[in-house]
Structure 1
Amino acid sequence: MKYPLIAAGICLAGMVHAETPVLKVYTYDSFVSEWGPGPQIEAAFEETCRCDLQFVSAGDGAALLARVQLEGARSDADIVLGLDTNLMAAASETGLFAEHGQTADFDLPIAWEDATFLPYDWGYFAFVYDKETVSNPPESFSELAESDLQVVIQDPRSSTPGLGLLMWVKHAHGDQAAEVWQGLSDNVLTVTKGWSEAYGMFVEGEADMVLSYTTSPAYHLIAEEDDSKAAALFEEGHYLQVEVAAKLANSDQPELADQFLSFMQTDGFQSVIPTTNWMYPANEPEGGLPKGFETLIQPETALLTAPEDAPTVRDAALEEWLTALSR
């Protein structure tokens, strides 16, 4: 008589599991890594949502949009987390994303009123170096080009930092951007598909500098108690990145997606960002930023191309980059 009871119990457990709603969030590789924010955010959100939050790694930031475009309305994603202002216009043109309906104030260097995309963190792009091996870091793109330093950068066609670098050079140097890239071409050791590969090469000592963020040294200082890493402060200013999330119009879980976007603005999400994603949170937590962030460089000039202008600027900048690096 035990076997029917056991079978009934298994059946009931299966039914309960099947009724648990699943929210799928496409994001970039480092977000879902064991040291990234994904695991902590998943645990915190599942405590309140009575759901199964599943982060799906889809390459680096720019690769997210390409995947969603390829899948179209058939995508299993409910939310895409990891686009930025340089990709927002292109994402909007797909017609795949829905308005979020959220109201919130953000701790950002810029005003935010977009109806589709919600910010969750921000930072400035920078070249990170080891103070023990680079004693005289460059203070501009021209000084970098004149040096013998070898840098690792990311591909702008698949990586948001890579695209951010193109926009940085173009915004800072305008019509002279092509010449800047010609000068930098000898300094580029290699171009990786994403940020994780590039930063890994840097920490292994394979390059003098790596394209990353002004906040990256905070990881080494706080997590590793290592103050040997720093970000070079450039006189041209630094390009601002605001990372965003948005829900898919064809989501199977629109209410749950809205719940996640609301949760994204709370301390349960935002307090995790500084010491896992190593960026500034879009809403500063009640306890403020962790000790160590006060040591980071602060760019005097913030550079940013308006989201609606980014696609046109990107096309010109990409052509200049490809031409310079192919020579």
Structure 2
Amino acid sequence: MKKNLYCLLHIFILISFSTVPLFAGGNKEAPASLALEVYCYDSFSSEWGPGPSIIESFTEQTGIRVNLHAPGDAVTVLQRLIFEKAEPWADVVIGLDNSLLDTALAEGILEPYASPGLRNVPDHLVFDGSHHLLPYDYGHYAINYDTLFMENPPDSLEDLTAAEYKDQLILVDPRTSTPGLGFLLWTVTVYADEWPAYWKRLRPSILTIADGWSQAYALYTSQEAPMVLSYGTSPVYHVEYEGSGRYAALEFTDGHIMQIEGMGIINGTENRSAAEALIDFMLEKEAQGILALSNIMLPVRKDVPLPPSFDSVLRPAQILALPSGLEDTGQLIDRWVEVFTH
């Protein structure tokens, strides 16, 4: 979840910081020319996202400069990495989640790294046993609703198809966004081979499908529709920064899909040691705290103190496993396009 996107920002930002000449915890000086090139999704790098604060602190402690590059949402980032894999340009990627793991591994775009910081992460959040993608935060996909404009919200995926919810739901495109892909996988998990029929029933309830989560959430908070695909952590932003309990996340009887966001070292990097240092820093308590309050997600470390606003987080009783065989989500998405446009 992205604090900057709650503020209705959807931008590409390049950030570069340079300060104290310490490298790898002060073991040696970093070369003056050393800079990491990092791909991330747009909300991570923007003004109100976690990227600027995390990178500033990392640079102060290590002397390593970091340039953040955000070509779009995580799906777009993955597509860029695949396109460039013969001649990799960046060193680290931040934001590929568990739904993209199989594709990332099949494409061979990452190098394994078992960070010592993983010792502080519960096993169930380490979604890649080969350590090509390491977790840094997580949450659960959920339909959020505006309590001022909806008295009787749905309590299941099937309820969303009811006639009373016509044109009241904003979704996100699975071709360009991980939340969009996550919702598609949620329906596949619940309905199995019958998911295309479900989407046909759901279609009247959908007001629009936004290109990305930021656009969708902006439409929602602008009162274009009372429901939006988002996260169980989304209400935290409104409680923490607006003092408002107006927006809430719905727990569905079907269960919920967990999104675990990951980071990894890009195969072919010439700055391996510096890349490892950044991965390690992302798992330290300081960065984990920034992620919680700027990315509006749950930190993977359990020893990170959280403010009372996190009492509003949806922690669903039933967690659904992602469908198996996700090496080619492209085929699933192509089928979704066919179903949804006909």
TM-score under structure 1 length normalisation? 0.89
Using the TM superposition, name which of 125-134 and 106-115 deviates more: 106-115
Partner deviation per Cα, 1:135-178 (whole Å, 9 max, x = no partner): 11100111111032521211111111010001101111112212
Q: 2:249 aligned with 1:236, yes or no?
A: no
Describe the shift of the 1:271–1:296 C-alpha distance in structure 2 as closer, same or farther (beyond 3 A): same
Partners of 2:136 and 2:300 within 8 A in 1? yes
How do 1:134-283 residues align onto structure 2 when only pairs under 5 Å count? Answer: 134-146=150-162, 147-283=165-301
Q: Number of residues paired by the alignment?
A: 309
How do 1:36-47 residues align onto structure 2 when only pairs under 5 Å count? Answer: 36-47=49-60
Partners of 2:140 and 2:232 within 8 A in 1? yes
Aligned to 1:33: 46
Aligned to 1:82: 95
Aligned to 1:323: 338
Unaligned 5+ segments in structure 1 are 1-16
Q: Tell me how far apart the structure 1 counterparts of residues 203 and 321 of structure 2 sit (CA, whole Å).
A: 24
Partners of 1:149 and 1:209 within 8 A in 2? no
Partner deviation per Cα, 1:51-108 (whole Å, 9 max, x = no partner): 2111111200111110111122323211111111111111112222111132423146
Superposition CA RMSD, Å: 2.0
Unaligned 5+ segments in structure 2 are 1-29
What amino acid is aligned across from residue 324 of structure 1 in structure 2? V
Aligned to 1:5: none
Runs of 4+ deviating beyond 6 Å: none
Structure number with larger C-alpha Rg: 1
1:247 alignment partner, SS class: strand
Describe the shift of the 1:59–1:213 C-alpha distance in structure 2 as closer, same or farther (beyond 3 A): same
2:85 alignment partner, SS class: helix
Q: 2:112 aligned with 1:99, yes or no?
A: yes
* Cα shift at 1:301: 0.7
Aligned to 2:26: none
Q: Tell me how far apart the structure 2 counterparts of residues 95 and 320 of structure 1 sit (CA, whole Å).
A: 25
Aligned to 1:63: 76
Partners of 1:86 and 1:311 within 8 A in 2? no
Q: Tell me how far apart the structure 1 counterparts of residues 123 and 168 of structure 2 sit (CA, whole Å).
A: 33
2:291 alignment partner, SS class: coil
* Cα shift at 1:111: 5.1
Partners of 1:149 and 1:208 within 8 A in 2? no
What amino acid is aligned across from residue 307 of structure 2 in structure 1? P
Partners of 1:121 and 1:279 within 8 A in 2? yes
Q: Tell me how far apart the structure 1 counterparts of residues 200 and 339 of structure 2 sit (CA, whole Å).
A: 5
* Cα shift at 1:110: 4.4
Q: Of 294, 298, 311, which aligns to 1:294?
A: 311
1:141 alignment partner, SS class: coil
Describe the shift of the 1:273–1:108 C-alpha distance in structure 2 as closer, same or farther (beyond 3 A): farther
